[in-house]
Structure 1
Amino acid sequence: MYLRLDPQNAPVAEDDDGAILDQVQRASFRYFWDGAHPESGLARDRSGRTADPRNDLVATGGSGFGFMALLVAIERGWITRDEAIARIERMLSALETTRRYNGIFPHFFNGTDGSTVPFTKLDDGGDLVETSLLLQGLICVRQYFAAADDPREGAIRDRINRLWLAVQWNSHIKNSEKVLYWHHSPKFGWARNVPIRGWNEALVSYVLAAASPDYGIDAEIYHDGFAANGAFLNGRDYYGVTLPLGPDYGGPLFFAHYSFCGLDPRGLVDRYADYWQQNCNHARINYLHSVHNPHGYTAYGPDCWGLTSSHGPKGYAVSSPGLDFGLIAPTAALSSLPYLPEESMRALRYFMALPQAKITGRFGFVDAFSLTSNWFARTYLAIDQGPVVAMIENHRSGLLWRLFMSAPEIKTSLRKLGFTTPHLTRDTEPNGH
């Protein structure tokens, strides 16, 4: 039997895992290449199955994933190094002229003029988590070009360093509290009032904040703030699997993806958890929820699983086993390939066997679907497309894990926060390209 993700790719044999993964990654990469904002080259927040949106909305975190996707594309031979450099230069030029708040980017901005596009009324300023996802990608780019003597590549490193060093992480501490805050508005101050605490997608925010040489945070901000001195521990069993951290059933699967596109969870341990075990168990609970299918949703099972944030029939939805709308997002299973390789590949083959006119479009699998409601999204989201490219590549080659963990500031930060990882006991080479 042969499978095809979209008409731009030749069909591949059903048992050829490498060729299938190439198709999936390359299709998702095109979101950040063909579907990027036409002037800035940065990632649109969302796009249509058949056409671009009629706006200039750019996503900060999604653009971080876009930078990572460019590195994968160079390595896989989908674009040339020179093509990638030209795009990176254009993206950096846009970032340099984007309005920032103490060096911190907003959630959304206009890709043409860099002006802030408020996410909500009270969220019209700096977004620390979105900025973290952007910096995660930028540091990977810097490390990819770390050994290059080419003047253009050296200039890219310098420009990234200026953006990175300008971020005042400690400006998102409110009234000397021992926790980072997600948002700050020049108009409304701390009114959005969201501390970055408890297990979620933001571990990389604390690692980067502790890594900053000029605006860094002390280790106690991580322990008292994010970890809440262990209050984010779980330790309970779900479907026979013990969950070390986080909410009941683990929450949406992006918790195991966003920070770990760069942070290598293999052997990453601190006083609270082994993060490889955390992510593997989280993904398995998510998978087993669909196998058990307590709500009786159509098609849920070993071949069809994956609950995370995505578009839904009534708008954006954050799905999890604890809040299940019958909505499957392909990114959830695909981005979990490092954690559950057999289960993820089985889901991938199932997705490819669904009606192509509904499940796929110009950038591969659509954002989500519900067979219970016979509903298929007509859209894509940057924050769902990006982890597909990054996490599949980390499973295949470890590229982005190797790059991010090779950064000297990241190693210093992990030591400071009390983490151990094999990357601290050996010399991690960036990439050698």
Structure 2
Amino acid sequence: MRLLYTFSLFVILSSCSTPQKNKISTQKKLNDNQLLTLVQRQTYKYFYEGAEPISGLSRERYHSDNIYPQNDKDIIATGASGFGIMGTIVAIERKFITKQQGYEHLKKGIDFLAKADRFHGVWPHWMLPSGKAKAFGKNDDAGDLVETSFLAQALVCVRQYYVNGNAEEKALAQKADELWKGIDWNFYRQNNKNVLYWHWSPNSGWKMNFAITGYNECLITYIMAACSPTFGVPAEVYHQGWAKSGAINTNISLYGHTIKLKHNVVGQSVGPLFWAHYSYLGLNPKGLKDKYADYWEENRNHTLINYDYAIANPKGFKGYGKNSWGLTASYSVKGYAAHNIKEDFAVISPTAALSSYPYAPKESMQMIRHLYENMGDKVWGEFGFYDAYSETDNWYPKRYIGIDQGPIVVMIENGRTGLLWNLFMSAPEVQSGLDKLGFTYKK
């Protein structure tokens, strides 16, 4: 999980920046639809105008301030690239870019992925513009199954989007299809165990030994593994591995909201809000149920716990309330942190509330309007809202992280039209995989 990499990310993230851009002016008196569209358009620029130029994929991060030299601005992030690919479909449909521009941008990225380093079909967490893997941490220098699953859900969406298109579009759909079907999920069971493992390296093998168990951001990893028609895993891998033979369940109430899934955090609490986003960019939580949870209720309650926590503001932080809420992994006054209600450093991450738009549209809209109209260019820049801020510490870094920007574009669209949910859930392999695992869902 991202929280396990806090120290290594702190070291890396503290070494980046780019020259100051001109201030981005904000406009007031936009209606809700106009403001949502503006936020989506501005945020998507990170994945188009701000894309890594050789691959056309997502940079890991981008700094608009001058505090640190940005020596690693060309690092390509696999998971964020998946989110950016899904965002490009939104951009085409919303006419932020033309249909041809969108096709060419997607083709550039997918062509790059086809030639990039893969390890039993799995991409690394980070890549260089050469397509070679870049180590994310010690012994984590090759296959990253979770980041790859975030990308795989995007490739399914691309296939579904172009499957009935013209000849060029059908060819791109086929290439996306071949890439995700080339992921060997079974290999990442580490010798056929009934659990998936996050990492494998030709240099250090299974030394990371990180079994993926719930509940966190990784549900989509098991869904994609079950869906694969080429390397699909049996249902036991999900039930015994992810769900820990039922030990995934709990029954707690926080701020009057019930949680049935035991989050992988200390104590009876909930994790950072990205856990309610990453797996659900394509996977529609509306009506999604299995014997462990109702995933719409879980994600909505996770969101409202964050909202009510900010209103209660037990630590008395400046600015917390109905207009400034949401804790998730992001930059922090302490370097980098997986913020949650048990690990709160007075830092608000806009992606937390904005990407929760489908679950709590009124509460999310309050936050969007406050940020845009009242806080302005303290928090708003060339690629949308900056990654994090703290009113308590008067801390407003002008920096972006790709994996935080991506869900904003996609989840707002899912809340508005269900675009990516409809594409992903229309895939027959997805439906077969969900059936295999015992889910009920909206078709």
Shorter-chain TM-score tier: over 0.9
What fraction of aligned residue pairs are identical, expressed as a percent? 46
Query: Which residue in the other structure is 2:3 paired with?
Result: none
Q: Deviations over 1:144-172 (max 9, x none)?
A: 11211x11101101111221111100111
Contact 2:326–2:350 (CA<8 Å) still a contact in 1? yes
Query: Which residue in the other structure is 1:66 paired with?
Result: 84
**Per the alignment, do residues 50 and 397 of structure 1 end up closer, same or farther by CA in structure 2, a change over 3 Å counting?**
farther
Query: Which residue in the other structure is 1:21 paired with?
Result: 36
Contact 1:49–1:366 (CA<8 Å) still a contact in 2? no
Q: Does 1:122 align with 2:139?
A: yes
Normalised to the residue count of structure 2, the TM-score between the two structures is 0.91
Normalised to the residue count of structure 1, the TM-score between the two structures is 0.93
Q: Does 1:131 align with 2:148?
A: yes
Contact 2:323–2:366 (CA<8 Å) still a contact in 1? yes
Query: Which residue in the other structure is 2:310 paired with?
Result: 290
Contact 2:227–2:433 (CA<8 Å) still a contact in 1? yes
Contact 1:198–1:231 (CA<8 Å) still a contact in 2? no
Contact 1:146–1:157 (CA<8 Å) still a contact in 2? yes
Q: Does 1:395 align with 2:415?
A: yes
Contact 1:9–1:23 (CA<8 Å) still a contact in 2? no
SS at match of 1:243: strand
SS at match of 2:214: coil
Amino acid at match of 1:163: L
Q: Deviations over 1:352-398 (max 9, x none)?
A: 23443321111011000011111112210111100000000000000
Q: Over aligned residues, Cα RMSD in angstroms? A: 1.5
Query: Which residue in the other structure is 1:349 paired with?
Result: 369
Q: Distance in 2 between matches of 1:350 and 1:369?
A: 14
Instruction: Give every structure 1 segment of 4 or more consecutive aligned residues whose post-TM-superposition deviation is greater than 3 Å.
Output: 6-10, 50-55
Contact 2:26–2:372 (CA<8 Å) still a contact in 1? no
Q: Deviations over 1:320-342 (max 9, x none)?
A: 01211111000000001111111
> What stretches of structure 1 of length at least 5 have no aligned partner?
1-5, 424-433
Query: Which residue in the other structure is 1:337 paired with?
Result: 357
SS at match of 1:169: coil
Q: Distance in 2 between matches of 1:49 and 1:285?
A: 32
Q: Say which of 103, 111, 117 aligns to 1:99.
A: 117
Query: Which residue in the other structure is 1:3 paired with?
Result: none
Q: Does 1:145 align with 2:145?
A: no
Q: Distance in 2 between matches of 1:357 and 1:273?
A: 41
Query: Which residue in the other structure is 1:77 paired with?
Result: 95
1:91: how far off?
0.7
Amino acid at match of 1:63: S
SS at match of 2:186: helix
Q: Distance in 2 between matches of 1:10 and 1:339?
A: 26
Q: Say which of 210, 222, 236 aligns to 1:194.
A: 210
Q: Distance in 1 between matches of 2:200 and 2:339?
A: 27
1:8: how far off?
6.2
Q: Distance in 1 between matches of 2:262 and 2:25?
A: 40
Figure out how many residues of one structure are paired with residues of the other and give that number: 415
Amino acid at match of 2:56: G
Query: Which residue in the other structure is 1:327 paired with?
Result: 347
Q: Does 1:30 align with 2:45?
A: yes
Q: Distance in 2 between matches of 1:75 and 1:332?
A: 24
SS at match of 2:76: strand
Q: Does 1:243 align with 2:259?
A: yes
> What stretches of structure 2 of length at least 5 have no aligned partner?
1-21
Amino acid at match of 2:232: G
